[in-house]
Structure 1
């Protein structure tokens, strides 16, 4: 199964190098100037946003239920300025560029990214099915990793839920929840890969092995939520954690005598984590 390692290495480094490509759309001076103007006046070109006027007239922040019920002013300004800028680029003969790590897509039926919503919903359904089937298994009490996989299942479902919400309604609060849940899932799955691959069963040893990664994951989440939502840095961190665990699993499956189909199952799991 040596070929499997080469496949994993190729996939891993493809994702890793792709993570270092910066999004040039969101650093475009004209795009950023449009956002500043929109947030000041409530208008992006010919389009004026009603809830931006609400924000301008009211110094207090909108209640949470209103934020969830409709998109906030900064989010809509980013969207309409993106559409305006892409129309201009297209008229000049230029192709589309990424904004905040994503391609410029127009909303359909109010959904920010309908295809992403559909795929995230499908992923959510499969994760729920997998969690329920694992919970219903007659696991032996001697299996030392059951609790860890239970937590992993919960984090997977939680990440899928917020992915659906964020791709449906792309706002600051849903973006933070989506990023936070994805980082938590990747950080914990990396911890599991280390504990399982090195067969760490002793509780103090588990704490010692997982503490640095746990501290880093929490620190990164706090940085994103309280200091700066740096999409470029977050992508690099997430892809690095995904590649690391994919390589750990690849080495482990080559050293341990398990069924060949299980090896490709782990490969699929790793690629799915990278795609998320």
Structure 2
């Protein structure tokens, strides 16, 4: 029997499709008996939409990607079209290049999140995990460089080098030795908490004019991480804890880029005042 196109392009072969149908039928029987959903091969029973394995996570990941793209473009527009530039037509904001790299890594991470939640196979899981580690690791480096106002390129390399070595080793470990989900979650959680603490303390100590935005992002992200810890079955077969975690980061991403724009504008105008 010829398979539908929506199954082909996501590589849902007959065996996987039959396994999915059996899982759904079994869950219907459990629901009729008043029993709670259970995990199958470590995964909650999600209802596919157009062949998409986890539709809510895909939708929220796409929104996060769009929010990062919007934030980055608005940041670029502010830097190069609304704020003064130096004689070389470069931005005065010393951390502009770091923010550009961050934007690329963020959009890359959410892209692979979309792919992974659309169809989970070993390759997509590896790409999703690796890109997430790269983003979190770089975010930690960015928080340290900005908080300690490290502007010298050589000093930046010295600060970033040991972190980059660890993150690279961890990614290689996941891809070529053992894709350990539990261990990776611990590493990511530590990196996340570390950068939250750095940002929160720095915002308070320096009394940054937009510190409330940063504190909101830090506090909101911390609460959102609880969704990764408190796992529960998907409501209506679609919305589970992981997908809701993706959903909570959408408004936080908007606020985060708003803070970056504020920081760029404040530092640029301060620098202009000093040179006049």
TM range (shorter): 0.5 to 0.7
**Whole-angstrom CA distance in 1 between matches of 2:15 and 2:141:** 36
8 Å Cα contact 2:200-2:215 kept in structure 1: no
Q: Are residue 247 (structure 1) and residue 197 (structure 2) matched?
A: yes
User: For 2:78, what is the secondary structure of its paired residue?
Assistant: coil
1:123 is aligned to 64
5+ residue gaps in structure 2?
86-90, 226-244, 247-276
Match runs of 1:142-181 below 5 Å:
142-181=92-131
**Whole-angstrom CA distance in 2 between matches of 1:100 and 1:213:** 34
Match runs of 1:1-276 below 5 Å:
69-71=10-12, 95-97=36-38, 103-138=44-79, 140=85, 141-259=91-209, 260-267=211-218, 270-271=221-222, 274=225, 275=245
8 Å Cα contact 2:58-2:113 kept in structure 1: yes
Residue-pair matches, total: 212
**Whole-angstrom CA distance in 2 between matches of 1:233 and 1:184:** 15
Displacement after TM superposition at 1:263 (Å): 3.1
Distance 1:177 1:250, change over 3 A: same
TM-score (norm 2): 0.65
8 Å Cα contact 1:245-1:270 kept in structure 2: no
**Whole-angstrom CA distance in 1 between matches of 2:131 and 2:195:** 18
Cα deviation 1:13-68 (Å, max 9, x = unaligned): xxxxxxxxxxxxxxxxxxxxxxxxxxxxxxxxxxxxx9xxxxxxxxxxxxxxx997
- RMSD over aligned CA atoms reads 3.3
8 Å Cα contact 1:111-1:167 kept in structure 2: yes
User: For 2:156, what is the secondary structure of its paired residue?
Assistant: helix
**Whole-angstrom CA distance in 1 between matches of 2:137 and 2:77:** 26
8 Å Cα contact 2:143-2:199 kept in structure 1: yes
**Whole-angstrom CA distance in 2 between matches of 1:135 and 1:165:** 27
Displacement after TM superposition at 1:246 (Å): 0.6
5+ residue gaps in structure 1?
1-49, 51-65
Cα deviation 1:199-238 (Å, max 9, x = unaligned): 1122222122111111111111111111111111111111
User: For 1:250, what is the secondary structure of its paired residue?
Assistant: helix
